[in-house]
Structure formats: structure tokens, C-alpha cells
Amino acid sequence: MPKVAYHATCTGAGASGQPRPRRRISEDSANRRPYDRWKRLLDLLAAILVLVLGAPLMALIALVVLVAHGRPVLFRHKRPGLHGELFEMVKFRTMRHPDPDRGLVTDAQRLTRAGRWLRASSLDELPEFWNVLRGEMSVVGPRPHLVQYLDLYSPEQARRHDVRPGITGLAQVRGRNALEWQAKFAYDVEYVDRRSFLLDLKILLATVWVVASRQGISAPGAATWHEFTGNPPQSSVSEADPANRR
């Protein structure tokens, strides 16, 4: 898969008005732990189990998507993974293709009833176990966001890429899309620092509850989520951000 030169930047300009210097994230910065090897093995076992046992369900979902949205059945999109390496994430489609002539422009207009159900149940995420099998994702880790966000992260937020992105993660069980972006990133970095088998197990169990209760499916006032446009000034960062709690 293609790679990008992954840099983390401080948003905005320095005191001199010049852009702040960029910092290369070394592959050694992940502070690898003994659990990381076991985590990869557990990911492989989980991916094989879900892809084999879940094949009939995924075939049924594919049929529903085909009827509701047409072809293609899968949504494919480039996302940054471990150390910023780009990979093609796959999900079931939940939206119709953009079509201004039919009034299908915004996410709210393109999202179908079947798509809302798939998102609410998180069944649209099932094909991502293929990404897990390929080693591009993990079952648990920070969610992979858009490539254009890379240059908007602060150096601290960029540490979320020190581990493989996940299908579910700490931010997903602490509020999901209802969280502000700064809170999401703070939980992602917290996961990087605290990752362990016990934490992964707690996140997986909490994910079942979050999905069953349909919490935080979309951001307030949005059909899906609000685009990340950069960090606010340090003084205005929300007190809800767990990084600011003492």
C-alpha cells in the first residue's frame, strides 16, 4: 500500500508568523510492548472468526445495500493507519451517490433508512475485519480518520497513529460521535499510553452496550459528524477534554 511522509504539526503559525516546524514520527516512537505481539495474534483470530462465521450475515447485508443503494456495495476510502501509512478501509455503503439533480448533496440527504440502520447497529463496520486480517487495522484502537486531518493534529494528537487504528476504541465507548474532536483525540492518546489486554477487553464489552443502546451515533446537529477543521486556541479548549482534567 502507498505510504505518506507522516508529519505532525502544531496548528497555526508561530510568533514570527512562519509556519511551525514539522516533526517526523519515528517508527520507534510507538514504545512497543510485549502485549502488542499478542494483540496482533488475537486480532488475526478475531478477524478469521468474524469473517467465516459472519459470512452469511454479511451476504445478507450486501443484498440489502445493493437494493437500497445500488453498486458498489462496499465503500472504500483511503485512511492513515499505523505511522500514517495509507490503506484502503472498507465498509458497507450507507449513503447514495452524490446527485445534485436529485437533491442528494449533503450527508443528511444521501443517508438512507437502510444506511441509518446499518450505522446505528454498527453492521456497516463488519468488512473492516478484512483490514484487520491484512494487518492494517486492529479490533481495538483509535478510529481511522480522514487523510486531510493529518496536518491539523497537534504533535500530541498525532500520537494516535503510534498504534494501528481500530474498529472500536476508547473514544467510541466514552461518547462516540457525540464527543468534541479534542476529547476524541485525548481518549485516543490515552489508549496509546494505557493499551493492554485488560483495557481492550473492557472496551469490547463496553462496545456491546454502546451499540445496543445506540449511543452517540452522530454528532449533535449532524447526520454523521462534524468535520475537523483544526484545534481552537489553547485557552478555549473544552473543559470536557479529558486531557485537561486534573
How many distinct structural domains can be found in the chain?
Answer: 1
Please give the residue range of the domain that contains residue 156: 34-225+238-244
Any domain includes 147: yes
pLDDT tens profile 196-238? 999 999 999 999 998 888 776 666 665 566 788 888 776 444 4
Assess whether the previous peptide bond of 72 is cis (omega < 30° from 0): yes
Phi, psi for 86 (deg, rounded to 5): -75, 140
Find out whether 191 and 168 touch, Cβ atoms under 8 Å.
no
Pairing of strands 138-140, 166-168: parallel
pTM, full prediction: 0.78
Any domain includes 101: yes
Instruction: Using a pLDDT cut of 70, give the percent of the chain over it.
Output: 78
Any domain includes 3: no
Q: Is residue 63 helix, strand or coil?
A: helix
Any domain includes 95: yes
Any domain includes 153: yes
Any domain includes 40: yes
Any domain includes 98: yes
Any domain includes 20: no
pLDDT tens profile 19-61? 343 343 444 444 778 899 899 999 999 999 999 999 999 999 9
pLDDT of res. 37:
87
